[in-house]
Amino acid sequence: MIIRKKFKFEGAHIVRNCSTDRCKKSIHGHSYIVEVFFTSNKLDNGYMIFDFGLTKKHIRDIIDSFDHAYSLWDGESDEFKNFFKSNSERWVEMPVSPSAESYSLMFLKLVDHILKHTTFSNGEGDVQVSSVRVHETETGYAEAFREDMDIIELDIHKIIFSDAVINEWNNKDELIKILTSRLD
């Protein structure tokens, strides 16, 4: 069984090294829709995979981090990065160029990491994120599946959120602890 939770954000980026000049040379934005799909090996005491209310604790905050923010690839020049960091309060620095494909893989890894650090207490089974679909436009999306997790090197611990983004997280200290922890 699969359940889906949908999120939205308005974000800006440049996708360096892509084919089209508009995309790789100019800042532009999109109205993103992010769909997160969950599975489990059983239903909880409420006969659900898990309560969608649990997504409001950390998953919503992570995806909302990109709302009205600039997604900054860490491969940009220091001059470019410093310009954005000094002229915009909301930014996220990513270890990959911010394409729809990268977003879907990054959100998949982030949600997976959050779920592994979530204590379920209503008889939930083995809840997992099965895929994440990121709609960049009305006609196009990228979807990353569990089996795609290692398609590129993307260490979630290298994602840097601006202070303005972090300060809007509902359970800031707990989420920082989750994001900086490792499951070794």
What does the DSSP assignment read for 132-145? EEEESSSS-EEEEE
**Which of these is catalytic: 35, 68, 117, 168?**
68
Q: Is 10 a catalytic residue?
A: no
Report phi then psi at 21, rounded to 5: -60, -40
**Which of these is catalytic: 23, 76, 117, 143?**
23
Q: Is 68 a catalytic residue?
A: yes
Centre a 10 Å sphere on the Cβ of residue 99 and count the other Cβ atoms it contains.
20
Q: Which of 154, 114, 149, 117 is nearest to 132 (CA)?
A: 149
Gap between the Cα atoms of 85 and 125, Å rounded: 42
- How remote is the C-alpha of 113 from its chain's centroid? 11
**Which of these is catalytic: 13, 35, 136, 143?**
136
Q: Which of 47, 48, 34 is nearest to 133 (CA)?
A: 34
Q: CA of 140: how far to CAs of 32, 48, 92, 117, 166, in Å?
A: 10, 30, 23, 32, 30
Q: Is 136 a catalytic residue?
A: yes
Residues with a known catalytic role: 23, 68, 136
